[in-house]
Amino acid sequence: MSLAETLHADLRGSGIRVQLANPGFIRTRLTEKNSFAMPQIMAPDVAAGHMIRLMESRRFSLSFPTPFQWLFRGANFLPDWLYYRLFAPR
């Protein structure tokens, strides 16, 4: 996410558009092997629809499904020690 944000800022006005997609869980052969809960897992065609709408828009970023968007946005306000404890446990 940081790389996309930096590229977006650096390339603004150059004719190169950078967009960031943050999808939740998507049903694939790989996710079928997961033994943990995957809240709001979505079908590939639904996820593809979100991606196409993003690419057709002038938006920079899109997180989906909506609760994941709240999670990504809210995580920006956490102190580092709590963020890494929640999202990168040992």
pLDDT at 23: 92
- Number of structural domains the chain divides into: 1
> Which residues constitute the domain of residue 9?
2-87
CA distance 24 to 38: 9
CA distance 30 to 44: 12
Per-residue pLDDT tens over the stretch 47-75: 999 999 999 999 999 989 988 788 778 88
Confidence bin at 8 (pLDDT 50/70/90): very high
Answering whether pTM is above 0.85, one says no
Cβ neighbours for 87, distance < 8 A, ≥ 6 positions apart: 75
Q: Are 27 and 44 in contact (CB under 8 A)?
A: yes
The widest CA-to-CA distance across the chain, in whole angstroms, is 45
